[in-house]
Amino acid sequence: MAKKVVLIEDDLDIQRIYGSKLETAGYEVLLAIDASQGFTLIKDVSPNIVLLDIMLPGKMNGMDLLKTLKESPDYKNIPVVVLTNLDTQKHEALKMGAYDYIIKANTNLNEIVAKVAKFAR
C-alpha cells in the first residue's frame, strides 16, 4: 500500500509538479490549497507525512497549522516538512517540531522525494 503524502500548497503549478513527481515515486498524494483544507485531510487520512507551505491563504497559515498538529496528541507524530521560499521562519519551524525546512527555490524535485522517503513513517 502506497504511503500517503498530504501536500498543502496554494500554488497550483507547484502542487501539480510536486504531486506528479511524488506519485511517480510511488506515493499517494492528497492535495490541499490552504491550512484548513489540509487539516481536514490530515484528520481524514492520517498521512505518513505532510509537506506544508507557510504562506497560505485563509485564516490559518502554515505555521499555525504546524503548531496545531504538534500540540495535538493525535497528530504530533506525523512528520511535517515545511516547503517555503521564506528563509526567515526556519528556526521557529524546526523548534516547533518540523522535521525539515526546505527552500523551494533552492531544492530540486529529487531532493524533495528523498526527504519524503527519509521522513515518511
- What integer pLDDT is reported at residue 25 of this predicted model? 98
Residue 91 corresponds to which amino acid? H
- What integer pLDDT is reported at residue 37 of this predicted model? 98
Chain centroid offset of residue 44 CA: 15
**C-alpha cell belonging to residue 100:** 525539515
Q: Above 90 in pLDDT, residue 33?
A: yes
pLDDT digits (tens, 9 = 90+) for 38-86: 999 999 999 999 999 999 999 999 999 999 999 999 999 999 999 999 8
Query: What are the residues facing 101 on neighbouring strands?
Result: 82
DSSP 8-state assignment for residue 49: E
- What integer pLDDT is reported at residue 54 of this predicted model? 95
- What integer pLDDT is reported at residue 101 of this predicted model? 97
Using alpha carbons, select from 113, 95, 117 the residue that is nearest to residue 22: 113
Q: Above 90 in pLDDT, residue 91?
A: yes
**DSSP reduced 3-state for 108:** coil
Averaged pLDDT, 101-116: 95
**C-alpha cell belonging to residue 65:** 497549522
Whole-number Cα distances in Å, 14 to 46, 85, 92, 96 = 23, 12, 24, 25
Averaged pLDDT, 89-95: 96
- What integer pLDDT is reported at residue 1 of this predicted model? 85
More confident residue, 71 or 87: 71
- What integer pLDDT is reported at residue 112 of this predicted model? 96
Domains along the sequence of the chain with CATH: 4-119 (3.40.50.2300)
Q: Give CA–CA dist 73/113, Å, rounded.
A: 27
